[in-house]
Amino acid sequence: MPFIKVYIHFVWSTKNREAFLSSKEIRRKVWQHIRENAKEKGIFIDFINGYSDHCHCLISLGVNQTIQKVMQLIKGESSFWINKQKLTSKKFEWQDDYFAVSVSESMIDKVRNYIKNQETHHYKKSFQEEYDAFISKYPFKKHKDFG
């Protein structure tokens, strides 16, 4: 049996960054549902939180899990559930794009605290400012398919 510990910090936003998740109550329900649904699918969510227009999730990938599949399962099912529960006044959607960065064992607590403090963090900084800082800190490059 392989022993794997690979942490990924995921960040994704609502479609067009609309503030669909406008109340703490809605966010609490959505984060709890994502956590429960992920557990059913064998996805280990270490920490989840966010704000009115985005979600942060620290996930430890399993041996057969890919970043793409985990995001597809979490985002697809949660948007379906949000709409089924009528938690928003109009059709809810997540943006197609997302961030995914690896997290070293030594930084896990720092990332957990960052995710935990999203409410306070976004009183001072917009998601756009957070997004720009993320891009600056982790200069992403487009990967081309080989073959």
Pull the structure tokens for residue 147.
């073959």
pLDDT of residue 113: 93
Pull the structure tokens for residue 65.
């899990």
Give residue 141's pLDDT band: very low, low, confident or very high (50, 70, 90): low
CA distance 32 to 70: 17
Residue located via tokens 């910090």:
9
Count of C-beta atoms within a 10 Å radius of residue 111: 18
Q: Of residues 139 and 100, which shows the higher confidence score?
A: 100
pLDDT average, residue stretch 4-10: 93
Domains and CATH numbers, the chain: 6-137 (3.30.70.1290)
Backbone angles phi, psi at 132, to 5 degrees: -60, -40
Give residue 146's pLDDT band: very low, low, confident or very high (50, 70, 90): very low
| Predicted structure pTM score | 0.84
Count of C-beta atoms within a 10 Å radius of residue 2: 6
Q: How many residues does the chain have?
A: 147
pLDDT of residue 3: 82
Pull the structure tokens for residue 118.
């999203």
pLDDT of residue 147: 42
pLDDT of residue 142: 58
Condensed to tens digits (0 to 9), the pLDDT of residues 39-79 reads 999 999 999 999 999 999 999 999 999 999 999 999 999 99
